[in-house]
Chain A
């Protein structure tokens, strides 16, 4: 053995030793951090609340489960049809107004579901202008179907959550190379068959990622169902907590949501089996299919209807209300805006970095432990915000109390809380809550990256960090940006964790909306709501501009 080969062998051995544990450790560490609040929630089972469970089982549980399943089925079907359908239209077809709808259909992402909910109810309930107008024309005895029903909630959530599916799927469709589609056509597939047999399977990781986000959002939602007074599993959690003052029982109920989501995610992975989907080479993008006549009209109508209902109508209504409340607009609004944007930006940075580490570790090191860690770290999204926030808060105060005891021993004086009620606590809550939002796009971008690329780089002697910096980051930039902007929008809309964990004085626009709506002052909540939507448009517009470059 020559000296050179010995050195090389030693280097390779060292690399081999270092590589695996480093990523695995990082992933496990991150999963640990995100798992702590979840474990706190699970720990509630240490004191089972049998009496409350018996009461719930006897009275309301059946209805709650039915309602929740109806929501999942309805919203799931709704976001798939709207999201995938519209993504195909704007990514692969050409019709009048296509360039406009391309980005316009993403804008509803900036409208929080709870805001859409109170606008819809304000407009469509019995005493709202629409029904009042209809009664004026058609007679006072007119009775329309109840808006505050499963159908109403499903419609609102579908309009609020379809953009997750739309955005991610659209990016996947745009990424379809000319080669792939041409090969399909050459092999004799018609346009429909190409869509179902080539495009859909290729886009499946993205579609599933979007669907998972929409459904976890549905399960965790409290704002929309509270506005509609529609009872779901989440409302039961809040009732156990706020009505029966039993946080233990609330947390126990919440663990079922987590188990359900974990099972669903696991099932998806199993169903997908060993299938892997990689981009079929960059190449030129495939040409769009030009729609004409009736089909073009249909496409425009569908896109315009969704855009109108999910964005234009609520914005117009909010603006009308906001005009009456302009007196509220004072210097404080700048502060609220700044806090909102600042929190969104910093949470995006923290969360996406963590998601990248996690997704990368899962890819280079596919052992069950790392995979499990990644799965665990993305569960927080399905937990209702307040429950998660309490988990974070309990973990942090326990740490704080420990530190205080220590400091009292050393200096004879306590220093008060350091973590709970600090920005760090809030950012951790966002990390846990929105890891799934970042992990989806980052993970699916990684999955579509051909393994041969980094492998080639490794063969050429690049270290893992170099591969990350020179191969992964540039190729992943679109996915990373998507993730960051999604997280930023989510954080700006987030309400319960912000309420509980914000440092003194760190009010955001969502906090202001909460304050006003909890007093029933919906019209006055329109001003912060419009501001929040406009602030949320910033990242959405960035997203649009980024994807326009595709």
Chain B
């Protein structure tokens, strides 16, 4: 399994080697990758059905920290894997035609493949840390996908929005994962399942679920974080289709479903999910019907659908979970289909404006049929899969009986209103462009390529197939999804016909009211402008203000700490060291200075001492740079002498050579500078004296303190004894460098090389811009 995910990433980067102009016609073959993965995951269905709850693939990563790359397949992760790879395969095929003229199509496929790999890793991970890693990777790769049209400023801006909102949520998610680990001591989701009571009885439980849900809500665009999702419409349509139907935004849903058996306490958890999900589904559905842009309608209806899913997970009963599992599949099928239809319409007519489009069924008959099927499925008309999911959603609000009796009606009404609006939104995209009179300017549009319409035909076939034979979907995967969330086997089944009852009445009412609404509300540019004014006071505005303030703060902060003067960097570093080390030294350590162990003062040391002191005096008083540098060299060489006196010839040699080179370097650099100027005033001098004195005292204290503690001689003894036996060397220092710690040395040489290349690139290869300026 690990190999599989890694190979997806490798293939992703390998795609970059294809050249867009020449190899464009081969890009359709890339859909073999997700398709073969799809077949691979299909092969797990019998195993999951046969009652085997989960298959674990274990791979160690950092065992000492409990971080692993374990992957788990159960109903839930299998459903998502199938959606990711299955719809992925269709998207790959679709995009090969949709973007075939794009000069960066290879990059597009690279991002898409990495995104797919990240999503697969996310839904399959059984370890919190690896899950988080893939989670962030989906944010990053979707950032590239949304901002794919890099020349469009709006596109870049939306990508940044999406990244910052989901990234912000990611921080909270990581915090909640760390809290889970600190409470239970494990990063494994499998092990957390048995520890749910420990988690829920902990006093940090509420903070934990707050952080966790913030992460999940931002990702799946719940109110009030919903606004990044319509912005993400700036992505190429295949990306929107993929992100909205099977992946990205469903990641939050996946996460909530995955952690429901662990974190759900039956009260607070459910209440929060129901209220947030309920608000989101209403807001999304309401806003969706007033849009003019087809993609925009779909974006808001996606928000609403995500709200419904969170709402259902919030209800948390067996029916509700079954409804959620079904709706994930239903929504993926019809939403992917509608997005691809939008893409075709856009591709052929170069507009997505609903006020302009009509009568396209004459020109695009196959697309029209598929669009109608998808729209009917979203409306929940019988014989489509959407009908079954709608029935069971109503069923779950009906079963809701653990608050008061009234709440049943309130919840049902909520869902009804949402569904009415969603029905209307579905018809808006699926019916409106295709019926009515065909405008003249669309008379000559050409037929879409088979790569564009084949995917939606496949999706429509599945929508009808599951709609007529729901047991196929149910026994295939849905029931095992519910089982893996519920942690006990499910008793309910999906049926085409539930009999004449209130629920059927509600379904009928939804369709009728939705259709009426469709005829009442005509898309117009005036209404949409009015709604956009509402956005001014919405959450987007608040977050924009926050983001601007953070930017201003960051700017000021950076100007203060990174002002470009080496002297202030050194000053900051030293002041921080004094602060932190000094605090630790005086708060935790009892200061003891043992003068007995100090060796007597010898004449050499006295000479060196005088040398250093006089050199430093010269440095501080001199008016010439060269003198200052040479005096600094004297200090360095005196330190070499100390090494010689105390018997460290290797160190002395190295220090000697380094000091010589340092002086040379300084001379080279400073020679070109103007004559010595007085930069420092008395105030600065006093500050520097204080800081340097404090630093000197601190270092002296630490040194004296270190003498008090008996040093551990084990290590040096081992090296001394074994240097010749194990490494055939007599010079212990050198043996350590080239043998015992050879890898360290190698890395250090690499660091040195990087420094050299850095200097070379900064000084030698100036940018064209700089050269022009000169």
The judgment on whether A and B are partners is no
Chain A: residues with CB nearer than 8 A to chain B?
none
